[in-house]
Amino acid sequence: MITCPNDRSLNITYLEAPIEQVWWSVATPSGSNSYLTFYGTTTGIDGEPKVGDMYHYNYGDINNVTTVKVCEPYALMTLADEYESMDPDGQMRKYIVQTTYRLEAAGEFTKLELEVKGFEDNTHGQWFRECLEMGWRRSLMNLKSVLELGLDLRTEMFSFPRMGVVNCTVNQEQSKQTGTAEAAGNYLMEVFPNSPADQAGLQKGDVILSIGGKPVNNYREFVRVVSSYYGKQASEEVVYIRNGTQQQSTIVFSIDDTFTGLVDIEDTPLEEVRKKREELARQRSASGAMWKEQS
């Protein structure tokens, strides 16, 4: 991961494809549909982006209405994004950021630099930044696969097992609250009722230190470790901190779409997913209202 200020993230990749093809992939709705989105539309002409065009993208349980702010064909595009994401309780929450694609020919390759900035300076902003940075990393890997191998692996890229938690790297505020050093674990912002984490006894406010003996000091390490169980019926020991005391439990991973953003809206309508999450939210105690408190 490239080190950046907390208000942004940056991914850089080299693609063995003509710059025109990479531009089509990242700058047009039809191109995005080829490797990333469930569907994308434009108020302009698909394939001929221009400043002022509005795109509507869907990524399962996330919608993004974005406006083209800068468009220099085959070189630079900047989008003003308005993401609407479904929270664990089924409520929709908006996140405003700016995404910039920079393209540059590099011999037989095209260098693609993707920067997202404008993340809020709070825990929700940190959570969204960490999720989006890793989400884009997976998506760019799939773009490379599509362009170089002809293989669309988005389902495989995003079908890693889940624990049923909303988590982020321990920040300064959470460090004071839990007694865990910053960037020394994953703070649980939320635990879904009846999820694998809930069944293992984990609670909101716990800090996960390791999974299967592997440390998870930050969000990226957490995702990498959990992803390593892709395609397996796995159960692992989880070591965590609660009230200053180190504890451990065994967790069985799940790929149920109740606990993950990977929702196929053709098979499972978004409204159905929202209702399932609202039902889960009603099962929570009043102390679990963190998302509403900070909305």
Name the residue ranges covered by the structural domains of the chain. 8-157, 159-256
Answer whether CATH 3.30.530.20 is correct for domain 8-157. yes
Q: Supply φ then ψ for residue 76, to 5 degrees.
A: -155, 135
Instruction: List, in sequence order, every beta strand (DSSP E) within 118-234.
Output: 165-169, 186-191, 207-211, 214-215
| Region of residue 221 (phi > 0: left; psi between -120 and 50: alpha; otherwise: beta) | alpha
* pLDDT tens column, 162-201: 888 889 999 999 999 999 999 999 999 988 888 889 999 9
- Tell me whether residue 113 is exposed, middle or buried, using C-beta atoms within 10 angstroms of its C-beta: 0 to 12, 13 to 18, 19 or more: middle
159-256: CATH topology: Pdz3 Domain (2.30.42)
Question: pLDDT, tens digit, for every residue of 108-164?
Answer: 999 999 999 999 999 989 999 999 999 999 999 999 999 999 999 988 888 778 888
Lowest mean pLDDT of 12-26, 45-59, 203-217, 220-234, name the range.
220-234
Instruction: Note whether 217 and 184 are within 8 A (CB).
Output: yes
The Cα 222–Cα 15 span in angstroms is 27
CB atoms within 10 A of CB 107: 8
208-255 pLDDT, tens digit per residue, is 999 999 999 999 999 999 999 887 777 899 999 999 999 999 999 877
Q: Considering the entire predicted model, what is its pTM?
A: 0.83
Mean per-residue pLDDT over the chain, rounded:
86
| The pair of three-digit structure tokens given for residue 174, joined into one six-digit string | 């959470």
CA distance 94 to 96: 7
Determine the pLDDT at residue 192: 83
